[in-house]
Amino acid sequence: GAMWRGAAAGLLCLAAAWLLGRGFEPRARLLYAAELRRYRGAPGEPGLYLALLGRVFDVERGRKHYGPGGAYSGLAGRDATRAFASGDFTPAGLVDDVAGLSPPELLSIHRWLSFYRDNYEPVGKLVGRFYDENGAPTEALREVEAAIEEALKFQAENEQKKQQFPPCNSEWSSAKGTRFWCSRQSGGVHRDWAGVPRKLFSPGWQGSRCVCVRSSGPPWGQPHSQHSDRGDLDDPHLQQYEGCPPLAEQCVLLT
For the chain, percent of residues with pLDDT exceeding 70: 87
pLDDT at 71 over 70: yes
pLDDT at 238 over 60: yes
Q: What is the structure's pLDDT at 228?
A: 76
Taking alpha carbons only, the member of 23, 74, 76 closest to residue 49 is 76
> For residue 254, what pLDDT band results from cuts at 50, 70 and 90?
confident
Q: What is the structure's pLDDT at 14?
A: 56
Question: In the predicted model, what is the mean pLDDT of the chain?
Answer: 88
pLDDT at 6 over 60: no
Helix (H) or strand (E) holding 251: strand 250-253
Q: What is the structure's pLDDT at 18?
A: 53
pLDDT at 38 over 70: yes
User: What CATH superfamily classification does 26-159 receive?
Assistant: Cytochrome b5-like heme/steroid binding domain (3.10.120.10)
Distance of CA 255 to the CA centre of its chain: 37
81 within 8 A of 53, measured Cβ to Cβ:
yes
Type of residue at 65: H
pLDDT digits (tens, 9 = 90+) for 113-157: 999 999 999 999 999 999 999 999 999 999 999 999 999 998 888
Render the burial of 38-49: b for 16+ CB within 10 Å, e for the rest: ebbbeeeeeebb
Q: Where are the domains of the chain?
A: 26-159, 165-253
Which is more confident, 144 or 175? 144
pLDDT digits (tens, 9 = 90+) for 41-57: 999 999 999 999 999 99
Helices 139-164 and 103-119, packing angle to 10 deg = 110
pLDDT digits (tens, 9 = 90+) for 182-237: 999 999 999 999 999 999 997 766 788 899 999 999 888 887 777 678 999 999 99
Instruction: Return the percent helix, strand and coil in the chain, to nearest 5.
Output: 35, 20, 45
pTM for the full model? 0.63
